[in-house]
A and B are shown apart, each in its own frame.
Chain A
Amino acid sequence: MWGSPPGVKRTVNFITSILAVVSKDVRSELRTRYAMNALLMFVVTSVATILFALRDDDVSTEVLSGMFWVVIFFTAMSGLSRIFISEEERGTTMTLQLVASPSVVYLGKLIFNAGLTLALSSAVTLLYLIAFPAFIIKSMEIFTITIFLGSLGFAAAATIIAAIIAKASTKGTLYPVLSFPILIPLLMTVMKSTARALDGELFTAALGEFQVLVSYLMIMVAGSYLLFDYVWKE
């Protein structure tokens, strides 16, 4: 009645600051289009390379789903680290540390990276549907949920590693090296369940994989949320 209670107010403040971080990143991205262009060109070149290799072959669904996630992995590795490296390069890290709390920064960056990864995997899906006649999604539910949970899990792991890597001297090469061991459980699971979707298996067959994906996502977000303070603060 007379203004909201302090708890609600704090939550609203928290969410608006997160959205402010996201909109700041979106705006600076739209200004240069660095990540978007780089990612798009990377996707096109890697899919073209795979097409050259597999042009006339009758490829199995396992190979197709493996190739699908290989493209997403390496594309994500070339673009997702920008989110923190750009702050270091422009020298804006200190400002961000002053104006926002670490958890706000982390969640904002996570949301931005999640959006980027989702857009990326949709673009790869679209290209695959056009380029490979054998890439037919027979089970739409499994595929959609796999892409959604997989991208979110990817973004969760990639964001905290990007924060670590921004402080290192060899940023570009170290990023996939650090991310790969962390992402292997996720990659193996999404590859398997994408193959299930291409084979047109029943929804219940992929439930085990979804459980793994959900728990991976939760562990990664919770863990990085707690650890981010130590990475971010000098």
Chain B
Amino acid sequence: MKIIKYLSIACITCVIVAGIAIPMVPQPHSWLEFPVIPGLEDKARNIFFHVPVAWASVLGFLVALYYGFRYLRSKDLDDDLKSVSSAGLGTMFCVLATVTGSLWAKFNWGSFWNWDPRETSIFILLLIYGAYFALRSALGSDEVRARLSAVYSILAGLTAPFFIFIMPRIVGGLHPGAKGDTAGSTPVAQLHMSPNMRFIFFMGIIGFSLLFVWLLNMRIRVARIEYHLSKNEN
């Protein structure tokens, strides 16, 4: 875990420094210059932070779903602790992604919220996280809570392909990578990124993923201690 911690700190520090400090010029000549992306300009720097955070929020959901699935198989409450820890982290990253995306949208599209398909999908992800925790708080015993919230997260995961892959394609949008955008039609916006931008971008993805793993590990350990303490009290 120590290695993961230091690696993630190193990656994210590099991304912050490089992402903010490297100038954007029309004709980049050296490795330390980014090309100007028409229509985005300096606002394009958001991609180094917003996209990795959004990725981490999806990762949080997938890990929660995986451990929910594992719980249904094993009936081991430790799997449920992992699942809920991951969902909590995912919620945090989801809020961060919504805020960074919304701020960016204000300066790029003119308003904080436009109901672009991708804004809709992050909104649904927020709703799912909210519903997941609302359901958990309404269920009494540990076993029932673990079982039903695992079922709900799997059920929500089943609808994910619709709003990740199908909806942004059939509804035209403003987001880079949407249907009308010629730049690309993959789920991850393939902007006109130069190799050095792409390097920083993937460094951000790796850095935030490692940050997620490290935080998750910490949260799971805390959750285990809290669980045992509550068991001892009774």
In the assembled complex, A160 has its CB within 8 A of some CB on chain B: yes
Chain B neighbourhood of A212, CB < 8 A: 162, 166, 170
Residues of chain B with a CB closer than 8 A to A180's CB: 127, 131
List CB contacts (< 8 Å) of B68-127 with chain A. Answer: 72, 120, 124, 127
Would you call A231 and B151 a contact (CB within 8 A)? yes
The contact string, 1 if C-beta is below 8 Å from chain B, for chain A 192-234, is 0000000000000000100010001001100110010011000
Cα distance, A223 to B158, chains bound together (Å)? 8
Name the B residues within 8 Å of A178 (CB-CB).
131, 134-135, 152
> Which A residues are in CB contact (< 8 Å) with B72?
230
Report the bound CA distance from A163 to B130 in whole Å: 19
Please tell me if the beta carbons of A184 and B134 are within 8 angstroms of each other in the complex: no
Chain A residues within 8 Å of B159, by CB = 181-182, 184-185, 216, 219
- Range class of the B interface residue count: 20 to 34
Using A168-B139, A230-B150 as known contacts, list a sample of 11 further A-B pairs with CB atoms less than 8 Å apart, ordered by residue number in A: A161-B152, A164-B135, A164-B148, A168-B135, A169-B139, A178-B135, A188-B171, A212-B170, A227-B151, A230-B72, A230-B147
Q: Which residue of the partner chain A has the closest CB to B161?
A: A219
Q: What 7 A-B pairs are tightest by C-beta distance, nearest first?
A: A185-B162, A168-B138, A181-B127, A181-B128, A223-B158, A178-B131, A170-B138
Please give me the residue from chain A that is nearest to B158 by CB atom: A223
B163: chain A residues within 8 A (beta carbon)? 184-185
Whether A99 sits at the interface, judged by CB under 8 Å, is no
Chain B 130-174, CB-CB to A under 8 Å as 1, else 0, gives: 110011001110001001101110111011001100110011000
Q: State which residues 6-60 of B face A: CB under 8 Å.
A: none
Cα of A26 to Cα of B167 in the assembled complex, Å:
37
Interface residues of A in 166-191 (CB under 8 A from B): 167-170, 174, 177-178, 180-182, 184-185, 188
A230 touches B151 (CB 8 A): yes
Establish whether residues B135 and A169, one from each chain, have CB atoms under 8 Å apart when the complex forms.
Answer: no
Are A185 and B131 neighbours in the complex by a CB distance under 8 Å?
no
Number of interface residues of A (CB under 8 A): 26
List 26 A-B pairs, Cβ < 8 Å.
A161-B152, A164-B135, A164-B148, A164-B151, A168-B148, A169-B138, A169-B139, A170-B138, A180-B127, A181-B131, A181-B159, A182-B156, A184-B124, A185-B163, A212-B170, A216-B159, A216-B162, A219-B159, A223-B154, A223-B158, A224-B155, A227-B155, A230-B147, A230-B151, A231-B147, A231-B148
Provide the residues of chain B in CB contact with A164, threshold 8 Å.
Answer: 135, 148, 151-152
Main secondary structure of the interface of A (DSSP, over half): helix
Q: Is B131's CB under 8 angstroms from A177's CB?
A: yes
* Chain B residue contacts of A184, Cβ below 8 A: 120, 124, 127, 159, 163
Distance A188 CA – B124 CA, assembled complex (angstroms): 12
Would you call the interface of chain B mostly helix, strand, loop, or mixed?
helix
B127: chain A residues within 8 A (beta carbon):
180-181, 184
Q: What does the 1/0 interface line of A146-173 toward B look like (CB < 8 Å)?
A: 0000000000000011001001111000
B138 touches A181 (CB 8 A): no
A182 surroundings in chain B (CB, below 8 A): 155-156, 159
- Select one of A161, A177, A181, A223 contacting B124, CB under 8 A: A181
Q: Is the CB of A167 within 8 A of B144?
A: yes
**A164–B148 Cα gap in the complex (Å)?**
6
Question: How far is A185 from B163 in the complex, measured between Cα atoms in Å?
Answer: 7
Instruction: Give A185's nearest chain B residue, CB to CB.
Output: B162
CB distance from A77 to the nearest CB of B (A): 13
Complex Cα distance, B147 from A219, in Å, reads: 21
Question: Looking across the interface, which residue of chain B has its beta carbon closest to that of A168?
Answer: B138
The interface residues of chain A lying within 8 Å CB-to-CB of B140 are 169
By a CB distance below 8 angstroms, the chain A residues around B158 are 219-220, 223
- Identify which of A178, A208, A219 gathers the most chain B CB atoms within 10 Å of its CB: A178
Q: Which residues of A have CB within 8 Å of B139?
A: 167-169
Q: CB within 8 A of B130: which of A170, A177, A219, A224?
A: A177
Residue of B nearest to A188 (CB): B167
Please give, as numbers and ranges, the residues of chain A lying within 8 Å of B151 by CB-CB distance.
160, 164, 227, 230-231
Q: Which residues of A contact B166 (CB under 8 A)?
A: 185, 212
Q: In angstroms, how far is the closest chain A Cβ from the Cβ of B158?
A: 5
Q: Compute how far the CA of A184 lies from the CA of B162 in the bound complex, rounded to whole angstroms.
A: 9
Task: Give the residue name and chain of the A residue nearest to B157 (CB).
Answer: A223
- List A contacts of B170 (CB < 8 A): 208, 212
